[in-house]
Structure 1
């Protein structure tokens, strides 16, 4: 029976391109990047060419970070998150209309020891910002930018692996470059995807979409209010034991009449921490108020805004 106190941090970092050493220290402190280091690394120049071709806006930050990172085999590929060992999570996402304007609420389901627990604010070179749940060093699992674009991922239910970028860097790319849902969808269509993932998008104008990505291609379901761990069809390889269809149907029936507290109830909330599938946090992302609000079942909360100070919160997570 798992019963553990997990720390979560809200961190404020300076701009990556001008403070790469600070970021390198941040990454070393919070992520076990070795777990994703490729066993047969690609030529670093081929990695750069791939990033330059598909996500050129990230190249200055990437080069700055690489310049202060350890000179180890596969470092260039590791930081570019290209053709890395795969990881699969769970998650449930839904648009909510409870506040009179759309927000994006989601549960992040993963193993206790597999998530760093870092929520982050960072300024961008163009005086913008990104704020959200960090992963893979400089990537994101979900978040919001200064334009009011919100994004959040779920596993897509198929274990197919192809040549492409890992989802945390793709989410960073969307939040660093896109202002609206149509713009983000267009960018997603131009990127090779390593895994099968779903991405919920919401913008300040209230447009929302679920984008189904895979190594085979990308398709968007504009106006779809929710997603769980399958795409248009449930694959035999999907996480059937995690009730993906039941969760999806539940959220679809709710039709946006959901709150963070609803995500702490059956069938959305998971406590299978000993089986590496528990809900680690619930977050509501609000493009209108520019807030990212984290919730846990015992009533603990962490509110992140562009002006929020750094904070640490300890959460009791158990299977009871």
Structure 2
């Protein structure tokens, strides 16, 4: 996979170029159930105004850069997108220098492979891009780190795609408490577990769903189920319970040193090569919010970035098991 790290403080030509490059594939995905299955521009815009009004001016800017078309604007609202599944693990290590570590398990053919650093609306944010302004994990300059896992439920309802919710949290929140309040009120179209860690060592996991109120917990570990397993076949295939138990043991019974704890994410049972089923591990990310530093890791490779030292670059990564 070809990975890139790009930096653009204000929405401009770099982002417009990315949109032009990725839009054909995203449009095919967005239309896979038919155009009538997706909300209108006005429905998406009103939902943004109601639930995430602070980023509406940013949305307007990005729509203009995307060419001002109806389909592009509807896609960029992230409101009621097509359903999609992933299998991920994430955990917070709360030692001397707390870190948020996560594996992102997904289809390599449906992934941006892009680390994006932005200064939109005066807030520095960097993380792994999804949908070109959404994020599957990331961190802001206030020292707030965030990541998501699929919540293991089939129910789909009215709400936003969770990558945009993560973007909103990083654009507007500075603490875990503020993030929890936002995650509790913003509707999501599917079930997700969102874990946050702030610079004061406070953390939480929000178990979000389209059909019931979000549950805000003090869990330091999240895999692909919520309070209990509801989708049994998915749970068995992704080994969500086994991965959760493994991480809890690492944090409590064994109390691994930080390096050993991070290293466990690059080995089974956390690391997956099930790419034939769309759930292989694409990367491991490590966030140190107090230091403003992040790493993207693969077996034998570490890509280090920070708010102070973020160099645009690209690299070819051989991901074990990915064709």
Q: TM-score, normalised by structure 2?
A: 0.91
What RMSD, in angstroms, separates the aligned Cα atoms of the two structures?
1.7
Compare 184-193 and 163-172 and name the one that shifted more: 184-193
Where does residue 241 of structure 1 map in the other structure? Answer: 237
Q: CA deviation at 1:12?
A: 0.8
Preserved contact between residue 291 and residue 305 of structure 1 (Cα < 8 Å): yes
Where does residue 36 of structure 1 map in the other structure? Answer: 30
Q: CA deviation at 1:236?
A: 2.8
1:25 paired with 2:26, answer: no
Q: Counterparts of 2:286 and 2:45 in 1: how far apart (Å)?
A: 35
For residues 149-228 of structure 1, what are the structure 2 equivalents within 5 Å?
149-216=144-211, 217-222=213-218, 224-228=219-223
Q: 2:119 aligns with which of 102, 117, 123?
A: 123
Q: Counterparts of 2:238 and 2:150 in 1: how far apart (Å)?
A: 12
> Once the two structures are superposed, what CA deviation does each residue of 1:148-181 show, in whole Å capped at 9, x if it has no partner?
0000000000111000100110000000000001
> Once the two structures are superposed, what CA deviation does each residue of 1:267-318 show, in whole Å capped at 9, x if it has no partner?
1000111221110100110011101111111x11111111321121211123
Compare 61-70 and 36-45 and name the one that shifted more: 36-45
Preserved contact between residue 283 and residue 292 of structure 1 (Cα < 8 Å): yes
Q: CA deviation at 1:72?
A: 4.4
Q: Counterparts of 1:278 and 1:43 in 2: how far apart (Å)?
A: 34
Where does residue 93 of structure 1 map in the other structure? Answer: 90
For residues 1-320 of structure 1, what are the structure 2 equivalents within 5 Å?
6-16=1-11, 19=12, 21-30=13-22, 32-34=25-27, 35-37=29-31, 39-40=35-36, 41-70=38-67, 72-97=69-94, 100-126=96-122, 128-216=123-211, 217-222=213-218, 224-237=219-232, 238-255=234-251, 257=256, 259-297=261-299, 299-306=300-307, 307-319=309-321
> Once the two structures are superposed, what CA deviation does each residue of 1:236-279 show, in whole Å capped at 9, x if it has no partner?
35332110000000001111635321101111000111221110
Where does residue 3 of structure 1 map in the other structure? Answer: none
> Once the two structures are superposed, what CA deviation does each residue of 1:162-207 show, in whole Å capped at 9, x if it has no partner?
0010011000000000000110110112211111000011000001
- Where structure 2 has 5 or more consecutive residues not aligned to the other structure, the ranges are none
Secondary structure of residue in 2 paired with 1:91? strand
- Alignment: residue pair count: 308
Q: TM-score, normalised by structure 1?
A: 0.92
Secondary structure of residue in 1 paired with 2:190? coil
Q: CA deviation at 1:73?
A: 4.5
Q: Which has the higher helix share?
A: 2
Q: Counterparts of 1:63 and 1:236 in 2: how far apart (Å)?
A: 38
Preserved contact between residue 112 and residue 131 of structure 2 (Cα < 8 Å): no
Preserved contact between residue 263 and residue 269 of structure 1 (Cα < 8 Å): yes
Q: CA deviation at 1:30?
A: 3.9
Compare 79-88 and 229-238 and name the one that shifted more: 229-238
- Where structure 1 has 5 or more consecutive residues not aligned to the other structure, the ranges are 1-5
Secondary structure of residue in 2 paired with 1:151? strand
Preserved contact between residue 273 and residue 321 of structure 2 (Cα < 8 Å): yes
